[in-house]
Amino acid sequence: GEQVYFTGTTDTLDTGGRIVHGQAVEVCGPATQERYVGQRLRVQFPGGALVNVLPAELSREPAPPLLGGFTPGEQVYFT
């Protein structure tokens, strides 16, 4: 499938896997879960997680950097 970039929100899945904003993912086809058919695409994240995502959460271009140059998952301190 086509390689695209995930522009959605970083999240931890019920399985413990993580989907991360900006990750390259592979489009596997249309969503297969009944409630998502016709609305979402099934993509594979690094590590093998298969997730149904909205087309609006995918981009053919790399995701722009986060404000301040921060990266998803980076530990920071509030001062």
Query: Listing from the earlier edge strand, what are the strands of the sheet with 58-59?
Result: 50-53, 41-44, 24-30, 3-6, 58-59
pTM of the full structure: 0.84
∠ CA 23-24-28, rounded to 5°: 125
What is the mean pLDDT of the segment spanning 48-60?
95
Whole-angstrom distance, CA of residue 62 vs CA of residue 78: 28
| Model confidence pLDDT, tens digit, residues 2-51 | 999 999 999 999 988 899 999 999 999 999 999 999 999 999 999 899 99
> What single DSSP character describes residue 14?
T
Residue 10: exposure state from Cβ atoms within 10 A (0-12, 13-18, ≥19): middle
